Structure 1
Amino acid sequence: MVDTISVIYAVQAIILTLTIPMSLIYLLTIIFIERFHTANNILTANFCSICFICVIYWALYRASSVFHFYPYYGNTAFCTFVLSAGQYLNCLLIYSLTLIAISRYLTIRFPTKRLFKRKYWIYSTIILQWIFSSSVSIPIILDSLQGCINGLPLFSWNFLYYLLIIVIIPVIIYITFNGLILAAVRSSSRRVREITTIIAATTHIDHQQNRRDIKLLKHIFFLFFVFIFGWGPVYIATAIADFYMPLWVYYLLQTLPAFTIIIQILDLFIYNHEVRQYWKERMFRCLHINLR
């Protein structure tokens, strides 16, 4: 069983390591190319930056497990940091997705309010998201500290709390705001039908905007459900593993988050046409290929 677990951890470490340069390339593109400094891209860059840090952490954590290297044992402070950092990063990651949904709802619900499209508003909401994620992670830190002091850092009953804040609460928030988005889009469509032909050009613009909103909504749903189906089973299994689940099933479910993260990073490049086109042109230029 130990050898099997080591193989699983090695596969996870390899997959996570492959996503590090991909996430870094996407993040640096958004940061250093000024034309990509839009509200949606800034929110996506927030998600990508957290994903980058999360990938590095879990890759190192899994690699240390493969080689049975646990330098944090015997040092309470370092032990607490290592054991709580993973859950904290997971919390940041999922709430960065819910922030995208909330921000998109505000821009759709109040299309004439420029506040919700300004950069300082976006940066403010990102800061609030980090503060909220940090606040709900305090019990995780305290639980890890207690576990490190007692020498039993795993299989705490507080994993039920992890399931609540990382899976259940984000699901409720996400479903609520995306339901409101759907209602707002349908309401907007009904108003469009009532507009007179005098402003037909504006109606066409509204239709285009609605189509873009729905397309983005589908994309956010995809990212969210990929994350939930990747991390949800792991936290459910962790909460009940001591009582009902065979050990090999529990370790097998731990492979899902590794695939989840790489799918999300790939999706960032696939969905963002402008970023994809930018790197396509750069590659063709390096290869001296004329696109025309």
Structure 2
Amino acid sequence: MVICPSFIFFNINSLIYIKVRLLSRRVRSSVSLLIRISGSEHKSKISRRDVRLLRHMIIMFSIFIGGWTPLYLLLAIENAFYIHPILLSCFTIWCELALLCDIIDLYLYNHELRKYLQTIFSRCMPKINQT
């Protein structure tokens, strides 16, 4: 139950990271061409942007695993041991909180979406105050 979603999550994030890395290299190659023309040499290394993206993906993956693994383990041992329904409810809430953390993290990480929602919210606020 944890392995299959984790595998899918990991593969999708790997594809995203590879795509971002290729785009960063393409932009960096045009910049390094300008640097070579100007006379200074530049070594290709992992940019801070790529490191931040990788760190963000690892944090999201950790929240996902940390949120869902306890519930799945509890459901796996449910047939062998008596599990109190309150414990099952607590772990279900823990999963929902992990999902909420991932959603909030994606919202905070996406600057364009944040600006768009702030613009919509600021347009709606005067209308709400007038009524």
TM-score higher than 0.5: yes
Size of the aligned set, in residue pairs, is 114
Matched, 1:97 2:5: no
1:262 to 87, 100, 103: 100
Shift in Å at residue 283 of structure 1? Answer: 2.3
CA distance in 1, matches of 2:93, 2:105: 19
Alignment partner, residue 50 of structure 2: 213
1:252 to 90, 100, 105: 90
Matched, 1:277 2:115: yes
Deviations 1:151-178 (A, max 9, x none): xxxxxxxxxxxxxxxxxxxxxxxxxxxx
CA distance in 2, matches of 1:212, 1:111: 11
Shift in Å at residue 107 of structure 1? Answer: 3.4
CA distance in 2, matches of 1:283, 1:108: 30
Shift in Å at residue 109 of structure 1? Answer: 6.6
Seen in structure 2, the aligned counterparts of structure 1 residues 229 and 245 have a Cα distance that, compared at 3 Å, is farther
Alignment partner, residue 61 of structure 1: none
Is the Cα–Cα contact under 8 Å of residues 67 and 95 in structure 2 kept in the other structure? yes
Seen in structure 2, the aligned counterparts of structure 1 residues 233 and 245 have a Cα distance that, compared at 3 Å, is farther
Quote the RMSD (CA, aligned, Å).
3.6
Seen in structure 2, the aligned counterparts of structure 1 residues 269 and 109 have a Cα distance that, compared at 3 Å, is closer
Matches within 5 A, 1:79-118: 94-107=6-19
Alignment partner, residue 64 of structure 2: 227
CA distance in 1, matches of 2:25, 2:48: 20
SS at match of 1:224: helix
CA distance in 2, matches of 1:245, 1:238: 11
Alignment partner, residue 242 of structure 1: 79
Seen in structure 2, the aligned counterparts of structure 1 residues 199 and 283 have a Cα distance that, compared at 3 Å, is farther
Is the Cα–Cα contact under 8 Å of residues 21 and 50 in structure 2 kept in the other structure? no
TM-score after normalising by structure 1:
0.32
Give the letter for the 2:79 counterpart.
D
CA distance in 2, matches of 1:276, 1:225: 23
Matches within 5 A, 1:1-292: 94-107=6-19, 198-199=40-41, 210-244=47-81, 246-247=83-84, 248-287=86-125
Give me the identity figure in percent.
Answer: 28
Shift in Å at residue 270 of structure 1? Answer: 0.7
What residue ranges of structure 1 are gaps of 5+ in the alignment?
Answer: 1-86, 115-194
Is the Cα–Cα contact under 8 Å of residues 223 and 264 in structure 1 kept in the other structure? yes
